[in-house]
Structure 1
């Protein structure tokens, strides 16, 4: 069956659930209420080896692929979606290194990430635009054995935190070649000319710091160019497609959390002398959400299988990301509605879910971008 877990996947799920329930759930609300990055909890999570779930054993990973990574993201999100965000945003730079870097680069940069020694951030979006790669302005000028980077990136999650060790960034190396003139670089923290801005307060991903990256005559050795010069566009598209599976899994976990909270509150509440779920006005929308949760799980698992098997998967991942992130918003909305007036009070966990869901509908390509990707199927021969 498509949803059956292997023995290794079952062990993984049980281990992540143990961390999420025993360590994350009791402590995370205080961090979220204060919009504070949970350094010690993340360090503990790193020490358990979960960051290496998707990556090959030779790099120190567990070799469980995108299927395994999606399990981690969903389980974390069912307790705290913004903790899952820390995980999925670390996965993007790890993915681009795992898929395109040299063996030496993998030993130097991927292995420590798999071991949980540090975390990374991904730099694609800029103040001038996000999904439109033609708008990228960060310039990398060749200078002897180095490239000199000038420009900035925004919304780089995990950067600037106490555990941040490196960023992978997309820059223009050959402006006359258009989209084929983009390349990816590994930029470690501490590189002269590389700095980060201050984290802002967000309506979602409250514990996952997102900042601006600045490059001011930042000299990066050619040995830190990932893959071949000019391969950046291909690397972006593949990495974002895999990332969309993890965003979808996070949305699925959020939807499950919303239903957990709705059922726990609604089962003890009466309206007009009847249990609240006896009223079709609430019971039927909840039934729709439960149905969509099952559909989302199937879509996520299918797209992860396609990714891990090396088959074409871009359209399917966009479908999964679109469906699951929109579902997260629907589930959050009905869960707040079940709580009535209490649902808008920050003392209740359900109050944060609408903001968390909205972030998922924007990151890794907005819902509109996903529909554009999917709509191309209508005109492709």
Structure 2
């Protein structure tokens, strides 16, 4: 904790906030995370507890009931949750970055007043639906269509792998849909769909390798009708909204990687100091000590990379390249640290009675969600003019 708090971008406010979230995670999440994972159960009760301490509206202005904190505070919250449980950090990250941000940034005054107070109060979640069977890395492959008929949108299609979309807490989803054609290409727009919309149905995705206690859903639209006023931003602005939303979302995925790595490192270090072999703790053997040293090094570099991107965003400077680098690097560090942590635990790290096994599974999504590692390298290459 001391090394984390020495970071030059960390203020006293950040330190106090980290302590608050860490205390909550240790007291309210750590003791039940393994059981929720085993049961593949999204906890409404736990999510509402997170809402009560302001985690469902971290950066939203106070006028709408939010906490109005900076990007680094938000990232610290996600990081501290991920240090204990990836599922809960995923819930908070998806709601804040993908759910709230587009509404706050592109919503009309009426849309903000209708949705934001309800969504930051602690009882509801909001999702962002891009991914489809034909639209993953190729986000332009969206097939869901929205046809404007008078003052209504008629929506048909489906979405898959959408976080915070299937539980009773989900108040709805912002979807990307084809609303026409321009220059021979599909015109994409963003539309707000409330959960009680006729013709809109949802279902949980189970049997996941990771984030088993998070709400991941499939969405179906069959002649779903929503008001024309539910258009978010301008018609045809969907791709822009999506790309800007993903830039911010990548920071939160990076924070999940950083927090997961920190948690895995701490578990491995504690185990190594207490595990006795050949008459002494295994931490005293150079091979293990060097593994821990490498973990510490990688986590330090990952934190510096991510916090720098947060600073750029808070200063109103371009941060797309840095967000891509942060997400790519932090997800790689999470993978490497979790793998070495399991190696230190040996056979004890291979059973679901040990939290490190869950961490090893949870890290795998981080190289896929919010842009695969391959796509992020493409994004970075374009930023450097290649």
What's the TM-score bracket when you normalise by the shorter of the two chains? over 0.9
Decide which moves more: 366-375 or 273-282. 273-282
CA 1:179 to 1:264, structure 2 compared with 1: closer, same or farther past 3 Å?
farther
Q: Does 1:282 align with 2:300?
A: no
Given the two structures, how large is their TM-score scaled by the length of structure 2?
A: 0.95
Q: Does 1:20 align with 2:31?
A: no
1:123 shift after superposition: 0.3
1:180 shift after superposition: 7.2
CA 1:341 to 1:42, structure 2 compared with 1: closer, same or farther past 3 Å?
same
Please state whether the residue corresponding to 1:173 is helix, strand or coil. Answer: strand
Q: C-alpha deviations, 1:308-327, integer Å up to 9, x for none?
A: 22211111000000000111
CA 1:27 to 1:203, structure 2 compared with 1: closer, same or farther past 3 Å?
same
Q: Kindly report which structure 2 residues correspond to 1:225-264, keeping only aligned pairs within 5 A, or say none.
A: 225-264=231-270
Aligned to 1:85: 90
User: 1:151 pairs with 126, 148, 157, which one?
Assistant: 157
Structure 2 unaligned runs (5+)? 1-5
Q: C-alpha deviations, 1:77-111, integer Å up to 9, x for none?
A: 11111110011111212111111111111111122
Q: C-alpha deviations, 1:181-225, integer Å up to 9, x for none?
A: 111111111100111123222111110121111111111111111
* Misfit runs of 4+, over 6 Å: none
Please state whether the residue corresponding to 2:235 is helix, strand or coil. Answer: coil
Please state whether the residue corresponding to 1:45 is helix, strand or coil. Answer: helix
Q: C-alpha deviations, 1:129-177, integer Å up to 9, x for none?
A: 2121221111111100011111011101111112111111111112334
Please state whether the residue corresponding to 1:312 is helix, strand or coil. Answer: coil
Please state whether the residue corresponding to 1:51 is helix, strand or coil. Answer: coil
Contact 1:245–1:304 (8 Å) recurs in 2: yes
CA–CA separation in structure 2 for the residues paired with 1:254 and 1:53 = 20
CA–CA separation in structure 2 for the residues paired with 1:3 and 1:199 = 42
Contact 1:66–1:242 (8 Å) recurs in 2: no
Contact 2:269–2:292 (8 Å) recurs in 1: no
CA–CA separation in structure 1 for the residues paired with 2:248 and 2:111 = 21
1:306 shift after superposition: 1.6
CA–CA separation in structure 1 for the residues paired with 2:59 and 2:360 = 29
Please state whether the residue corresponding to 1:67 is helix, strand or coil. Answer: helix
Aligned to 1:193: 199
CA–CA separation in structure 2 for the residues paired with 1:139 and 1:325 = 33
1:179 shift after superposition: 6.4
Please state whether the residue corresponding to 2:83 is helix, strand or coil. Answer: helix
User: 1:52 pairs with 49, 57, 60, which one?
Assistant: 57
Contact 1:336–1:343 (8 Å) recurs in 2: yes
Contact 1:169–1:187 (8 Å) recurs in 2: yes
Please state whether the residue corresponding to 1:140 is helix, strand or coil. Answer: strand
Please state whether the residue corresponding to 1:52 is helix, strand or coil. Answer: coil
Please state whether the residue corresponding to 1:196 is helix, strand or coil. Answer: strand
CA–CA separation in structure 2 for the residues paired with 1:177 and 1:148 = 23
Q: Kindly report which structure 2 residues correspond to 1:1-381, keeping only aligned pairs within 5 A, or say none.
A: 3-91=8-96, 92-177=98-183, 181-379=187-385
1:38 shift after superposition: 1.2
Contact 2:166–2:218 (8 Å) recurs in 1: no
1:247 shift after superposition: 0.5
1:252 shift after superposition: 0.5
CA–CA separation in structure 2 for the residues paired with 1:300 and 1:179 = 35
Decide which moves more: 11-20 or 324-333. 11-20
Structure 1 unaligned runs (5+)? none
Q: C-alpha deviations, 1:328-374, integer Å up to 9, x for none?
A: 01111011111111110111111111210001111001111111111
Given the two structures, how large is their TM-score scaled by the length of structure 1?
A: 0.96
Decide which moves more: 197-206 or 95-104. 197-206
**Coordinate RMSD, CA, aligned:** 1.6
Decide which moves more: 278-287 or 43-52. 278-287
CA–CA separation in structure 1 for the residues paired with 2:15 and 2:7 = 14
